[in-house]
């Protein structure tokens, strides 16, 4: 039997079926053909509905199976809080600062006179002794001044002898006139005149002596200036800097020019470190220190804090205080001018319970749970309780509550803390070793994954 859909759409199928009827067919035959086609159309619609129902059922079953499979294979929920364990550790409190290596005692040698340098007798790194000649300035002009003052002194000494001779002669004449006046041979006026001449002669002697003293002072000054042309080492040491060359002219009219820098002993050095004002209260004179330099990163030089200066150094609003650290340098590795890092151990606690500093800084996003440990169900149900403020020497940490892993809630705990090294803090009381404290809270976006339904 031919399908009513042979030949195209429904109308075309009906025409093709009617055309297949023999000539002279009756009306009943035509009704039979039409009813048969209608029956086939209803059957076809029912098949389409069933196919749609079966397809939707398969799709729903597949989606349900995917969700069940995803939930079965999904990892466990990520915990809300990140915790850390209280550990037994050594806590060493240190203060670090940077400074410059300097000789323990160094002297800047300059020139007190101006002139041309005629000789330089030492060089860099030379060992010198106290009183050793290290440079000389041209002494010709200063020697001429000494000769001139010496000649003036000789002339003044001759002048005083002449004045003393006149004084002696005047004294003899006065004595003679006194006798003649007593014998009434000479007049009293002649005696007064002779006495006045004697006084003038004595004044001339005094003036000559004053001139001699003045010339002697100038001669001494000239000789001293002449001696300044020779520059001697004031101490035993090493020449660490030389800033003059032979033939160079030195001008010492206003400031004394520095020609040499001599360090007394390079086996004894010091580090002048800048201690921050927040740490200066932790350090004291006599504390041990370790010094490191970039040139010898594996070496640790032992030192001792010898001085903490009261004068502040304010640079761009940052206040520091200079601390002097004496360092032994027997091998000569430390050199003047090196940048050094000084580490001073202020306090230490060995084998004590300690927790991370992050736990003391942590604050949860919601209020802590009540004493039962159950977390609040909603912000509206959170208890209006104020957290107790830690006192001096105390800290506050948060512990996980008794709720589910993904949101267990928090409980507070006040503890007594000790020293810290910047990462770990000593626990004196309030927590035992092995306790878990919260150090961080996971973001809500990390806990919330994608779900199909």
pLDDT at 449: 44
Residue 324 has pLDDT above 50, yes or no: yes
Looking at the chain, the whole-number percentage of residues with pLDDT higher than 70 is: 80
Q: Which residues contact 413 (CB under 8 A, 6 or more apart)?
A: 396, 397, 398, 399, 430, 431, 437
Distances (CA, A) of 392 to 132, 395, 418: 63, 8, 11
Mean pLDDT to the nearest integer, 286-295? 93
Q: 361 is written with which tokens?
A: 């800084």
pLDDT tens per residue across span 39-86: 777 777 777 777 777 878 788 877 777 666 665 665 666 777 888 899
Provide the pLDDT confidence category of residue 35 given band limits of 50, 70 and 90: low
pLDDT at 295: 93
Are the C-beta atoms of 440 and 82 separated by less than 8 Å?
yes
Are the C-beta atoms of 235 and 130 separated by less than 8 Å?
yes
The half-sphere exposure of 18 on its side-chain side, counting CA atoms within 13 A, is 13
Residue 180 has pLDDT above 90, yes or no: no
Mean pLDDT to the nearest integer, 275-283? 92
The counts of H helices and E strands in the chain are 6, 19
Looking at the chain, the whole-number percentage of residues with pLDDT higher than 90 is: 34
Sheet of 230-232: strand order equals 230-232, 133-137, 115-120, 249-250
Class at the top of the CATH hierarchy for domain 81-89+353-447: mainly beta
H-helix or E-strand spanning residue 354: strand 339-356
pLDDT tens per residue across span 76-87: 667 778 888 999
- Residue 452: left (phi > 0), alpha (psi -120 to 50), or beta? alpha
Q: 394 is written with which tokens?
A: 């105390």
State the architecture of 111-135+233-256 in CATH terms: Beta Barrel (2.40)
pTM above threshold 0.75:
no
- What DSSP character marks residue 22? P
Are the C-beta atoms of 145 and 220 separated by less than 8 Å?
no
Max mean pLDDT range (36-40, 202-206, 429-433)? 429-433
Residue 373 has pLDDT above 60, yes or no: no
pLDDT tens per residue across span 95-121: 999 999 999 888 999 998 999 999 999
pLDDT at 446: 43
H-helix or E-strand spanning residue 19: helix 10-19
Mean pLDDT to the nearest integer, 3-22? 52
State the architecture of 262-350 in CATH terms: Beta Barrel (2.40)
Task: Give me the residue spans of the domains in the chain.
Answer: 10-72, 81-89+353-447, 111-135+233-256, 139-228, 262-350
Q: Where would I find the beta strands (DSSP E) of 216-336? A: 230-232, 237-242, 249-250, 258-263, 268-276, 288-293, 296-315, 318-328
pLDDT at 410: 82
Mean pLDDT to the nearest integer, 341-366? 88
pLDDT at 118: 94
Mean pLDDT to the nearest integer, 28-47? 68
pLDDT tens per residue across span 375-395: 554 444 444 455 667 888 888
């Amino acid at each position: 039997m031919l399908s009513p859909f042979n030949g195209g759409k429904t109308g075309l199928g009906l025409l093709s079926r009617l055309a297949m009827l023999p000539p002279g067919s009756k009306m009943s035959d035509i009704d039979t053909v039409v009813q048969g086609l209608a029956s086939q159309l209803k059957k076809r619609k029912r098949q389409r509905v069933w196919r749609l129902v079966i397809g939707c059922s398969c799709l729903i079953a597949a989606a349900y199976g995917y969700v069940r499979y995803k939930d079965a294979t999904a990892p466990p929920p990520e915990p809300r809080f990140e915790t850390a364990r209280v550990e037994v550790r050594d806590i060493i409190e240190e203060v670090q600062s940077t400074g410059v290596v300097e000789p323990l005692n160094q002297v800047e040698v300059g020139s007190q006179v101006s002139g041309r340098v005629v000789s330089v007798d030492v060089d860099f790194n030379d060992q010198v002794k106290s009183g050793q000649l290290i440079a000389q300035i041209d002494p010709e002009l200063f020697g001429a001044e000494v000769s001139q003052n010496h000649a003036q002194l000789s002339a003044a000494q001759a002048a005083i002898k002449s004045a003393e001779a006149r004084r002696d002669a005047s004294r003899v004449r006065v004595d003679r006139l006194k006798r003649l006046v007593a014998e009434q041979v000479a007049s009293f006026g002649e005696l007064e005149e002779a006495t006045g001449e004697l006084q003038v002669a004595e004044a001339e002697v005094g003036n000559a002596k004053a001139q001699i003293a003045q010339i002697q002072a100038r001669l001494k000054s000239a000789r001293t200036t002449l001696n300044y042309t020779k520059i001697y080492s004031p101490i035993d040491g090493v020449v660490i800097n030389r800033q003059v060359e032979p033939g160079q002219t030195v001008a010492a009219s206003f400031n004394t020019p520095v020609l040499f820098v001599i360090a007394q002993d390079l086996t004894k050095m010091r580090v002048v470190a800048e201690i921050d004002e927040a740490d200066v209260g932790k350090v004291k004179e006599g504390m041990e220190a370790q010094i490191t330099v970039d040139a010898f990163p594996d070496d640790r030089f032992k030192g001792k804090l010898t001085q903490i200066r009261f004068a502040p150094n304010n640079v761009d609003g940052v206040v520091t205080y200079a601390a002097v650290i004496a360092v032994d340098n027997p091998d000569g590795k430390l050199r003047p001018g090196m940048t050094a890092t000084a580490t001073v151990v202020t306090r230490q606690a060995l084998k004590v319970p300690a927790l991370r500093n992050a736990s003391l800084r942590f604050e949860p996003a919601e209020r802590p749970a009540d004493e039962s440990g159950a977390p609040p169900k909603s912000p509206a149900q959170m208890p209006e309780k104020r957290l107790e403020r830690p006192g001096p020497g105390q800290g506050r940490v948060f512990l996980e509550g008794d709720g589910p892993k993904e949101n267990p809630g928090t409980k507070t705990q006040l503890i007594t803390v000790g020293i810290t090294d910047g990462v770990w803090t000593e626990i004196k009381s309030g927590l035992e070793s092995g306790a878990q404290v919260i150090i961080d809270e996971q973001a809500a976006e990390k806990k919330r994954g994608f779900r199909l339904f």
